[in-house]
Every structure is written in structure tokens, then in C-alpha cells.
Amino acid sequence: MTEVGWEERWEPVCHVAQLKEGRLIERLIKSTLILLAWYDEGPWAGSGLCPHQFARLSEGWIQSDRLHCARHQASFCMRSGDPDDRWQINGIKLYRTRINDEIVEVNLDDPA
């Protein structure tokens, strides 16, 4: 009898060159808005909406290892997703990424 196991599902999201240009890219995957960036020499993926008032984080910027929301300037740690100390809000979800034949893929099933 063959055992049926859980299989990871990776979603292709963009070409790696698009992220290396330094742009913040958003993608809607299975009703989830994802933000993509090139960070620490690799693809990075996290929630595309700010947990404060749901502004699109693609309108923000990355500075000093933090993702900044353009609407009210909350910032989130790129490594943990945690908000800065001024805010009593949830952090942003982070997702695992990989590069498969120059295509960036995101795993939504298993947060980073």
C-alpha cells in the first residue's frame, strides 16, 4: 500500500529578475495578497496588507531591515514580521520562498 503524504504546494509568482531590480511586487494568490521583495540576497514574501488599517504594503518601502507602511508609517521587521514598538498591532505573516529555474515561488501553506 502506498502512503499518501502531505505535499508542499509552491506557487510561481514572478521572475527573479523582477525582484532583483529592487521593486516591491504584489500578487493575489488564492485570495491572499502577498508582497514580494529582494531582501538579504534572496526573495522575500510577506503579507501584502498592513495589519493596522489594511493599506497596501506595496506602496511602502524597505529601509534598515524594516518594511514601512506608507499610510501611517508603522514598520515591520523583515525577519520576524513584528511591528515596531510604537504599535500595538499584529505583525505581518511571512512566507517561505524559493527559486526554481529563475522563477520565484512562494509557499502559502507553511508560513516562514
Whole-angstrom distance, CA of residue 28 vs CA of residue 70: 20
Distance of closest approach, residue 106 Cβ to ligand FES, in angstroms: 22
Distance of closest approach, residue 101 Cβ to ligand FES, in angstroms: 35
Lay out the site mask for ligand FES across 52-91 (x = CB under 6 A, - = otherwise). xx-x-------------x-xx-x-----------------
Nearer to ligand FES, 53 or 80 (CB): 53
Distance of closest approach, residue 34 Cβ to ligand FES, in angstroms: 17
Distance of closest approach, residue 94 Cβ to ligand FES, in angstroms: 17
Nearer to ligand FES, 14 or 77 (CB): 77
Burial degree of 64 (CB within 10 A; 0-12, 13-18, 19+): exposed
- Name the residues that contact ligand FES, by CB under 6 A: 50, 52-53, 55, 69, 71-72, 74
